[in-house]
Structure formats: structure tokens, C-alpha cells
Chains A and B, each alone.
Chain A
């Protein structure tokens, strides 16, 4: 409601309640996507390894600030607390984009500064409190452009629409992002679908299977919300068999694919004992369902 730009890191472990401290799980996906009072746009990003955790945290900050929405990074115990080596990060690709932020010490815009000004893309320029000539007022209650509380039905509708306009702008921006990643040959015996920290074990399992003459490819869904429906659909259309691999009981990713694409996956390999997948055991499970 205040159009603040938090970046929230959700590191999952098994639940419910205190659950199994402190082992790993992927059971909070629906929580990350849905937990809210009311409706507002957000972005949920799931890095799959050390490098992605670094790069996608920067993406999360940029998106949060540019669209003035919460950005959630969904990780888990296995990814967040594992030790590993990585190639040096390519920092030339890193840019900081703070969006429509007024950095001048004095506000020189047209008319009175309005924190929640109606704009074409729904994004209002942000002034920093202390900027001369700008009174920055925001409000957790529904408000008008100036941030004053309102109970007006017309304005309430208009403000909700303003906040959701940012979703269109965000979707457009995400077209240029690597919202999904694809590994392996275009044609394969099966397509593995996963998100987050299962990336490492899945890629190892692919190698093991490859040695045995079984070719699988792998679709990593990086941006889980907004869901990259077109990109996922394009890949699933040409898949011979689909297998979802997840560290949870109810296969939240399968349900998300069903919800967004009206498609059911062929097989699910689920593990919810607090431990990450083991490449050998995973390759065995894949062979069993093929």
C-alpha cells in the first residue's frame, strides 16, 4: 500500500511450525506467492546456485526499486548454508537501477510533489524525505495521490488499478530477463522441471544418465511469480515426458504449472525428509519413472 521496495529473503526449512530444524525443504513456494492482506503485485525469484544467489539479489533490488513492489528471493537451507566454489562472478553485467528516484536536493517538478501520483505506468517518482520543496507522505490506509487517507470508492478503485498497472510494466520488463533457464539437448527422453536449489543435483543426475545413454533436458523456472507462462509453455510443448523434481510433499510447482498453463506434468519426484536430492538416487528415480 505504501509502495515501499523491500527485498525479502525467504530461506526455507521443513515445517510446519518449528518443523525439522535446521534441514532443508521447498515447502514455502505458495506462501511466498500468496501470503498477503489483499492484493498487490510482487516478484518471487528462486536462485539455484551461488552465482545466481549473487546476481539475482541485485535483480531483486533493481526490480523492487524500479516498480516499488516487494521482491522475494526464495532460497533454502541447502543453498543458503552450503559451501561451494564458483567461477568469479561477471560483474560487468551488474547495474544498479533505482528507478524513478528523485536524487536532487531540491524538488523542481511541476506542482506539488505527490508520492502516489497517477502515471501512465503506475509508477510514481520517489522523493527522499528531506528533499527541499517536497513533502513525502505515504499511508498504509488507502490514500490519494498526496498520501492522505481516503475512504472514497472511486479513488480506491483507481489507486488499486494504479498499483496493478505496475504489474503490466513489470511483465514487459521481465521479457528481457532470464526468467527460465534451459539445459541439455532440445530433444530428449524427458524434461526435468525444477526451481531453486535442486539445480545442482539435477544437473549432476543428467550427467549420470547421459553416461547410460539416457538423455534428459532440464527447465529451471527462476521467476516463479509473475509466472513466465509463455516461455514455460514453449518448452513443455516439445517435451516428450515431463518430470517435476521438488523438495516438498504436495509438488507446489506442478500445481502452479497446472494453474497457469492448464497442463499436468507426467511424473513428480518428491523428497520431503529434510535432505537435498542426491544425484545418484535422483538419477535412479528418473530411470524408474521413464
Chain B
């Protein structure tokens, strides 16, 4: 079973004190532990913006991609290996501005998952 310690990385977190990302980071780690997902089974995909550094703070497979491309990256990884648990993190401008076209395609494409907004 994966523990909080296993998910730690050597990187110092550089988000500002009080940033909402801390809550998202901890919730994600706890979800991995609760669901019993092994580190090698999970892939974290992030885009551009402060949130993108998420890849540095969770010790699982990760792809810190380019602006707006979280969804196509995540879909590609899922298509290549549907066994993997792929979770994408995107910023607001990342997804709803630069990545809007990809968002529309992801919703309508026949890949095994649909994006869930949180």
C-alpha cells in the first residue's frame, strides 16, 4: 500500500502560502492512498501555470506538458495503456482559453474517459 511518505518528492514546494493548490495536492494524495493505487499505475499530467508544478510534488509517473494540452496528453496515455489511472490537472487559462479546443474534442471523442470538472 502506498503511503503519504512514498508520495513525497525531494522538491521544495514554491506555491504561495495559502494557495488553494495545497488542498488539491493533499486531496489527490489521499485519494491515491484511499483507492490503493500503486505509484507505477498512476500518471499525473499537468499543464502550464502554478498548478503545473504538481508533477514535482507527487512521486508517481508524470508528464508536465505544454499550455492547454493536458487533455490530449492524458487521453493519449490512456489510449496507449487503459490500465493506467490518468489524472490531469489544468489551470483555468490553460484549459478554458488555450486548451478550449482540446476540451471540446475530449468531451466528444470516443476515448474511455470523459473529463470531469472539479
| A→B interface (CB under 8 Å) | 2, 128-141, 147-149
Contacts and interface: CB of A to CB of B under 8 A. Distances in A.
A252 B81 CA distance: 42
B65 interface: yes
B83 interface: yes
Contacts of A135: 39-40, 59-62
A138 B60 CA distance: 11
Going nearest first, the 5 A-B pairs with the smallest beta carbon separation are A139-B64, A129-B61, A137-B62, A136-B61, A140-B66
Contact of B41 (A2, A130, A133, A139): A130
A131 B61 CA distance: 10
Contacts, number: 57
B60 A140 contact: no
Interface of B: 9-11, 39-41, 43, 48, 52-53, 55-56, 59-66, 77, 81, 83-84
Contacts of A138: 62-64
B112 to A, nearest CB: 16
A133 B84 CA distance: 15
A149 B61 contact: no
Contact of A130 (B52, B63, B83): B83
Secondary structure of the B contact surface, majority rule: mixed
Given A134-B40, A138-B62, A148-B11, 4 more contacts: A129-B77, A137-B61, A148-B9, A148-B10
B58 to A, nearest CB: 10
Contacts of B41: 130
Contact of A147 (B40, B48, B62, B66): B62
A149 B60 contact: no
A140 B56 contact: no
B64 A141 contact: yes
A221 B59 CA distance: 47
A149 B63 CA distance: 11
Nearest to A37: B66
B77 to A, nearest CB: 7
A132 B59 CA distance: 14
Nearest to A151: B14
5 contacts: A128-B81, A130-B81, A132-B40, A136-B61, A148-B10
A134 B39 CA distance: 9
B51 to A, nearest CB: 13
A148 B56 contact: yes
A2 B41 CA distance: 20
Given A129-B84, A130-B84, A149 B43 contact: no
A149 B64 contact: yes
